[in-house]
Amino acid sequence: MTQENPENLLTGLNHLDDRGQAQMVDVSGKAPTIREAVAVARVKMLAETFNAIQAGNAPKGDVLGTARLAGIMAAKQTASLIPLCHPLPLHKVEVQVTPDPQLPGYQLQAIVKTKAETGVEMEALTAVSVAALTLYDMAKALEKSIQIEAIQLVSKTGGKSGNYHLEKGR
């Protein structure tokens, strides 16, 4: 795993101005590079709810397709939702919703790619978060106790800070 040194976390905080106030980082001096981020989430539910969604019997219609599209749309709106994120030209946004009968529920994954001066980690995390929330919204008539879990960044490539890959088993 490649990860930042914890001792360096408090040095060079470029999201703070000289008075300690939050600011958007100036990336204008950076060269655009290809950057990709992958994020995941898990949505757990009762077996009855899972079976109804799989059979296409949810009251609101296409649960999985709607969740996938919501994730794609959310990635494109990240800068509007997260105060210090840069608006980025996204070249790829892919959201996968995979059934997991053992959970029971769904594994969600978002892959976001750009060629820009800054990374797309927040776009990938936003995509899986909103996809999971949409899955909940589309299925809440069947079950209110659906759980959204384990939203996390799995990997990122490109940029000055280098590559990051989540350790296995975490």
User: What residues are labeled active site?
Assistant: 137
To the nearest 10 degrees (0 to 180), the angle between helices 63-76 and 121-139 is 150
> Is 4 annotated among the ligand-binding residues?
no
Burial of 128 (0-12, 13-18, 19+ CB in 10 A): buried
123 annotated as belonging to a binding site for a ligand = yes
Residue 28 corresponds to which tokens in the numbers above?
């204008």
Count the neighbouring beta carbons within 10 Å of the beta carbon of residue 150: 15
Cα–Cα distance for residue pair 62/110, rounded to 1 Å: 19
46's tokens = 């009762």
What are the CA-CA distances from residue 164 to residues 50, 125, 131, 134 (Å)?
Answer: 33, 14, 23, 28
From the list 39, 62, 58, the residue with the least C-alpha distance to 49 is: 58
Which residues are known binding-site members?
84-86, 122-123
Which residues are known binding-site members for substrate?
84-86, 122-123
